[in-house]
Amino acid sequence: MQAEFAFTLNGQATTVRAEPAQSLLETLRDTCGLKATRLGCGMGQCGACTVLLDGEAVHACDTSIEVAAGRAVLTVEGLGNRAAPHPLQLAFVEEQALQCGFCTSGMLMRSAALLQRNPHPSEDEIRQALDGNLCRCGVHNRVVRAVRKAAKA
């Protein structure tokens, strides 16, 4: 049965009506109209849907809206924008750390979570953090360079 769920979305108080088991990903994309978070595998295995929940990186495809209720959700739309890009977004552009861009939102959000808890990660720590974020275009090395650059910014 549908119910109301209140949470903070990119700093804004938000209330949606949904089935408790509806995924956070479906909520973001279809209920809230924020399309930058991607549906890849839908099974918690590719990282394309990564968002921050109370600052921790989670898969929005296997997190329900019921679990997200009362908490703070940050998507790539809230990370930065053209006028005020996040250092990671700038570094991804400068290092050309994307090709088709499908994995990019998830890569950015996983990297943002890493830099929040570890502002100066080693290359190994970056690779470990991004291990579950797949890229079918093979830009992993550029992503690592971009995260290192953002960490120095």
Interacting residues toward ligand FES by CB under 6 A: 39-42, 44-49, 59, 61, 98-103, 135-137, 139
Nearer to ligand FES, 3 or 137 (CB): 137
Minimum distance between the CB of residue 22 and ligand FES, rounded to whole angstroms?
A: 14
Task: Name 64's Cβ contacts closer than 8 Å, sequence gap at least 6.
Answer: 20, 21, 22, 23, 24
Please say which residue, 59 or 86, places its beta carbon nearer to ligand FES. Answer: 59
Q: How far is the CB of 120 from ligand FES (least distance, A)?
A: 25
CB of 116 to ligand FES, least distance (A): 20
- Indicate the residue among 9 and 97 with the shorter CB distance to ligand FES: 97
Angle between helices 87-94 and 104-117 (to 10 degrees): 130
Distance CA 94, CA 21 (A): 39
List the one residue out of 136, 123, 126, 111 whose CA is nearest residue 41.
Answer: 136
The CB-side HSE value for 4 (13 A sphere, CA atoms) comes to: 4
Q: Could you tell me the smallest distance in angstroms from the CB atom of residue 142 to ligand FES?
A: 9
CB-nearer residue toward ligand FES: 12 or 34: 34
What is the DSSP-derived secondary structure letter of residue 81? Answer: -
